Amino acid sequence: MEEAEIYSDIAEGPASGNAYWIETDDSVRVRVGAYQSEVEAKGTILLMLGRFGYVERYGRVAKTFAENGFSTAIIDWRSQGLSDRMSSDPQAGHIESFSDYQKDVAAFIQAADELDLPKPYYLVGVSMGACIGFRALLDGLPVAATAFISPMFGIKMSAIQRIAAWPLSWAFQKFGIGQKYVPGENGEIYVLETPFEKNNLTHNSAMYDYWVKQAQAAPELQIGGPTMSWLYEALAECRRLSTVPSPNIPCITFCGELDQLVDNASIKRRMAQWPNAEFSMIRNAKHDVLTEIPEVGGDVMTQIFDFFTKAGAATKP
């Protein structure tokens, strides 16, 4: 692995932060970030973020993880952060096949092993990252437990939007124009174009301002809207995953009552069929439950730490 750039000033993560270039099996260069625990390590959290995600975006979250005994590894998915873009338009949230993300996961785990990050590993999957992580669990991701934040087990749409989305996105991909943006989307950076009062991510103004400052300081880390190919592949993956049994891995899941991005009904169905899983619907919370204000999100972090610590203890001989 080669060292990669990490924007520590805007990440505000643990002082131990480093980043590395890794290459996937299909020769895509992606970036991995790593932060060491600041106390005796209980393990490493594999942090899989959503469609806007990049290493620095959850620097403050990684700081909280470190203070509570967890190292953190984060990946820039292909077409995000500083990783290789899959479209000629670097702002496009584009993917050729959703299964390509699993190639990123494989390289991610290999990097964590080579960096000798403390075990056991735990998965925290946020939105699209939870969808990718769920597939990885089915394929044997070596984690002791998982926490899902607003998992993308379905995309929130009206009935009319859903009826139109399938054939339109399929046709765009079929005829080689899948790199076109989803109607109504473009290459603009969401947090720079959306006032805090109208955002659909969080009630936490300090966190939103943190993301705005990151976007202003390093626009190269940002992407705009999804492409038609991404939409079709995401819809298809959500449909495929809806039919499989839940893995026998301890799971705790949180979603926001006011979420406008993922389909909470799909999350409820999945968690109802996950043996011994824990599920919380957070009242008045928006999409990014992990960064909500305490009055809304409460002690989500503490619940995750307690859940992981208990699961980790159960894995010891």
Q: CB count, 10 Å around CB of 164?
A: 13
Contacts (Cβ under 8 Å, ≥6 apart) of 90 = 223
Q: Does the pLDDT of residue 163 top 90, yes or no? A: no
Give the Cα separation of 268 and 250 in Å (integer): 16
Query: If we measure between CA atoms, which residue out of 59, 36, 245, 247 comes closest to residue 144?
Result: 247
How do residues 271-308 score in pLDDT, each as one tens digit? 999 998 999 999 999 999 999 998 887 789 999 999 99
The domains of the chain, with CATH numbers, are: 2-309 (3.40.50.1820)
Q: How far is CA 253 from CA 90, 173, 288, in A?
A: 32, 33, 13
Counts for the chain of helices (H) and strands (E), in that order:
11, 9
Q: Does the pLDDT of residue 317 top 60, yes or no? A: no
Rounded mean pLDDT, 171-179: 90
The percent of residues in the chain predicted with pLDDT above 70, rounded, is 99
Phi, psi of 242 (to 5 degrees): -65, -15
Rounded mean pLDDT, 179-206: 96
Give the Cα separation of 121 and 42 in Å (integer): 9
Contact 72, 35 (CB under 8 A): yes
pLDDT classification of 166: cutoffs 50, 70, 90: confident
Phi, psi of 292 (to 5 degrees): -70, 160
Give the Cα separation of 3 and 94 in Å (integer): 26
For residue 103, how far is the Cα from the chain centroid? 15
Query: If we measure between CA atoms, which residue out of 155, 202, 256 comes closest to residue 212?
Result: 202
How do residues 107-161 score in pLDDT, each as one tens digit? 999 999 999 999 999 999 999 999 999 999 999 999 999 999 999 999 998 888 8
Rounded mean pLDDT, 16-23: 96
pTM value is 0.95
Q: What is the pLDDT of residue 224?
A: 97
Q: What is the pLDDT of residue 274?
A: 95
**294 or 313, which is more confident:** 294
Partners of 121 in the beta sheet? 44
Give the Cα separation of 91 and 218 in Å (integer): 13
